[in-house]
A and B are shown apart, each in its own frame.
Chain A
Amino acid sequence: MKIFKVLIIIFLLLCFNNLSANENSERNEITKNLRCLVCQGQSVYDSDSDFANSMKILVDKKLSEGLSDKEIYNLFKEKYGYWILYDPGLNKNTYLLWLLPILIFLIGGAIIVKSFILKK
């Protein structure tokens, strides 16, 4: 019985532990998609530079002001340009990136239709 109680206490402790770990999940999700502009190939989430730490504080501040993740991304995009986002939208610099897979898929599909289906 004693072991059972101890197990329950450990279980509860683990539950609370999980709660505190999830507190920053929204912040983490956003900072993972923001590029640390002064570091090489690191996200704001991964970096511990001065710039990244200030960004994390600012993201927290904006979240507490009630801004949605999209609004926060737009805010940073306005100030630093598309480069700050790891997941950029469709624009004149990224159209090839977005359209090439679709194009290849269509060409591939056309080849398959031509050579296998129409053959029959």
Chain B
Amino acid sequence: MKKKLIPYSIILMFLITFTVFYKSLKDTNIYTPETNINNDIPIFLADLLLLNENSTSTEIFELDKFYLLNIWASWCVPCRDEHPILMSLSKNNKLTIIGMNYKDNKKNAKSFLNKLGNPYEKIIVDKNGTISIEWGAFGVPETFIIYNNKIIKKYIGPLNQELQMEIQKTIK
């Protein structure tokens, strides 16, 4: 029995090590964040761009309505690429598009909208980036779909034709 214990434990150790390494071999080492989430939207008070007033999350997001929150900045190049998609989504009257201007200069943001059009109903100003962190965002551009004060979908990076179709399907 004593003689057998050592080879058995060596085999067991080997098997455990093998399983651990084999399991991690197939795992991806690039972090992929969860996109199907069901978190409540954060409560915040923020200034609004274009209007000289501030607003709270409960005033902006009403129940039983679909909202799209888009985090953008005038200095962000991919935001320019996705802008036409936001413009065409804004024509859909089932969806209200809210913008979040991330770490931007007010003057630049306004000229960005004058040049490319304004798809947003309201624009929240996130001067130091803390509101977007409260939303669980990574950077710009990023898009959230909100229904009944819950984030039902999150898109990291610029929107494209494919995602536009997906959003339109979601709000049907």
Contacts and interface: CB of A to CB of B under 8 A. Distances in A.
Interface of A: 37-38, 50-51, 53-55, 57-58, 61, 78-81, 83, 96, 100, 103-104, 107, 111, 114-115
9 contacts: A38-B138, A50-B139, A51-B129, A51-B139, A54-B103, A54-B128, A54-B132, A79-B134, A107-B9
Interface string B124-147: 000011101111101100000000
A114 B132 contact: no
Contact of B12 (A54, A78, A79, A107): A107
A111 B6 contact: yes
A114 B4 CA distance: 12
Interface of B: 2, 5-6, 9, 12-13, 16, 20, 31, 33-34, 39, 103, 128-130, 132-136, 138-139
Contact of B9 (A55, A57, A111): A111
Contacts of A58: 130, 133-134
A83 B34 CA distance: 11
A103 B134 CA distance: 39
A115 B135 CA distance: 58
B129 A57 contact: yes
B138 A54 contact: no
B3 to A, nearest CB: 10
A107 B2 CA distance: 14
Contacts of B33: 37, 80-81, 83
Contact of B138 (A51, A57, A61): A51
Contacts of A100: 16, 20
Contact of B31 (A37, A61, A103): A37
A55 B133 contact: yes
- The 4 A-B pairs of least Cβ separation, nearest first, read A54-B129, A79-B136, A58-B130, A58-B133
A54 B5 contact: no
B138 A50 contact: no
Nearest to A61: B130
Contact of A78 (B39, B103, B128): B39
Nearest to B32: A83
A83 B136 contact: no
Contacts of B132: 54
